[in-house]
């Protein structure tokens, strides 16, 4: 591990910075009253970010593709979630699909 | 604090409580893998544990320990983490009302995660949004940190958590949480466009930026198409 002191400073700066990013929204919103239409856009923006997060986490690894096992697992989980299967099954099925495929050599 | 808790309990039905518990459990397992990966990668236990408590943002934590464990600069790891966490600005704007006013904004902001934001946005009434956001946030905080601690202890035993398919569990959890919000057609169009943009730029840009660029998809967002718009139009004009 590199210099522990520098790592500690890095962790603390990341903590303060992340908290600032998180509280920025609530602080801004109490200063300015947003029109109802903007509120909907804000909610849509959050959903767009979350969807992009799901897609990149499921399909990519670093700068490349994530292979087959992980996307397949997420796909199975997604289909089950659409069919309103209990949440625990969604999670277990996603992990089990990815693990099962890897077990038989599909990465 | 007690009065908030009572309000939350009242608006919490059995189904919602069960779903929240499962999200927390799933996150605890992901935390387990994060702790194991960090310590297995050669980091001291305090690094993943401290990150979990004071940063409390999974994706940036994975990125931070990944860079540092690989011998990279902690400064680069910090910048990368901040970039990944910048999406919280948009989350904060979206869930400000859900968090509440006054001192509640301090713990409420720290508890902001992809999961409880997605959960809150998927509920219909403000009361349920609040319950989902706060209880899910507190639960994830507890489960995540316990998971990380446990994972750190067994870190050297488990070397490859991908064997258990845990890398597929996180996106699946988030996908299940975001699905209700995608019922709105206009939001869905914007999300699909955003996903295409994010995936297209992933090979060229550092982690975090592709997700931010997905906001380009909002050009396809039209509030007019929303079915809930009609009664609200009078208030706006």
Contacts of A61 (CB under 8 A, 6+ apart): A67, A70
Is there a contact between A100 and A72 (Cβ–Cβ < 8 Å)?
no
CA distance B216 to chain A (A): 9
Give me the residue spans of the domains in chain A.
Answer: 1-32, 35-106
Q: Which two tokens stand for residue B148?
A: 């990380």
**What is the distance between the alpha carbons of residues A17 and A20, in angstroms, rounded to a whole number?**
5
Residue B118, both tokens:
């997605």
| Cα–Cα distance, B38 to B30 (Å, whole number) | 12
Please give, rounded to a whole number of angstroms, the shortest distance from the CA of A105 to a CA of chain B: 11
Residue A11's H or E segment, with its range, is helix A4-31
Interchain contact, A77 vs B181, CB within 8 Å: no
Inspect the interface and report whether the beta carbons of B99 and A26 lie closer than 8 Å. yes
**Chain A residues with CB-CB distance to B69 below 8 A:** 1
Give rounded-to-5 percent helix, strand, coil for chain A. 80, 5, 20
Which positions 201-230 of B are in contact with A (Cβ < 8 Å)? 202-204, 207, 210-212, 214-215, 217-218, 221, 223, 226
Residues B60, A14 contacting (CB under 8 angstroms): yes
**Residue A15 contacts residue B55 (beta carbons within 8 Å):** yes
Q: pLDDT at residue B10 above 80?
A: no
Residue count (chain A): 107
A45-A50-A54-A55 Cα dihedral, nearest 10 degrees? 10
Name which of A2, A9, A54 is nearest B175 (Cβ-Cβ): A54
Question: Å from B83 to nearest chain A CA?
Answer: 9
Q: Which of B16, B46, B134, B165 best tests the A interface by mutation, with the highest count of A CBs <10 A?
A: B165
Nearest-5° angle of CA A41, CA B58, CA B67? 115
- Mean pLDDT, residues B223-235 taken together: 50
Those residues of chain A that have pLDDT short of 50 are none
* In chain B, where the domains are located: 4-179, 184-223
pLDDT band at B230; cut points 50, 70, 90: very low
**Residue range B174-218, pLDDT digits in tens:** 999 899 999 999 999 999 999 999 999 999 998 889 999 999 999
Residues B39-61: tens digit of each pLDDT: 988 899 999 999 999 999 999 99
């Amino acid at each position: 591990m590199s210099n522990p002191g520098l790592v500690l400073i890095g962790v603390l700066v990341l903590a303060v910075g992340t908290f600032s990013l998180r509280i920025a929204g609530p602080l801004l919103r109490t200063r300015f009253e947003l029109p109802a239409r903007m509120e909907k856009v804000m909610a849509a923006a959050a959903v767009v970010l979350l969807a992009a997060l799901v897609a990149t986490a499921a399909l990519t690894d670093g700068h490349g593709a994530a292979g087959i096992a992980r996307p397949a697992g997420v796909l199975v989980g997604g289909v089950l979630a659409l069919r309103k299967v209990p949440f625990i099954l969604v999670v277990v099925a996603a992990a089990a699909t990815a693990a099962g495929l890897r077990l038989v050599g599909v990465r | 604090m007690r009065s908030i808790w009572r309000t939350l309990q009242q608006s919490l039905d059995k189904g919602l409580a069960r779903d929240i518990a499962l999200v927390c459990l799933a996150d605890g397992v992901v935390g387990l893998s994060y702790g194991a990966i960090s310590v297995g990668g050669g980091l001291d236990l305090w690094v993943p544990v401290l990150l979990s408590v004071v940063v409390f943002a999974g994706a940036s934590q994975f990125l931070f320990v990944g860079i540092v464990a690989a011998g990279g600069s902690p400064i680069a790891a910090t910048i990368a983490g901040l970039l990944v966490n910048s999406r919280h600005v948009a989350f904060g704007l979206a869930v400000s009302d859900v968090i509440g006013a006054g001192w509640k904004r301090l713990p409420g902001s720290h508890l902001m995660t992809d999961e409880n934001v997605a959960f809150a946005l998927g509920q219909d009434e403000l009361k349920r949004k609040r319950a989902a956001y706060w209880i899910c946030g507190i639960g994830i905080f507890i489960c995540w940190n316990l998971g990380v601690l446990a994972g750190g202890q067994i870190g050297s035993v488990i070397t490859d958590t991908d064997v258990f398919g845990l890398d597929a569990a996180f996106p699946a959890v988030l996908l299940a949480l975001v699905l209700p919000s995608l019922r709105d057609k206009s939001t869905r169009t914007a999300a699909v466009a955003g996903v295409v943009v994010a995936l297209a730029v992933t090979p060229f840009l550092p982690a975090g930026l592709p997700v931010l660029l997905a906001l380009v998809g909002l050009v396809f967002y039209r509030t007019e198409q929303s079915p809930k718009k009609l009664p609200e139009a009078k208030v706006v004009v």
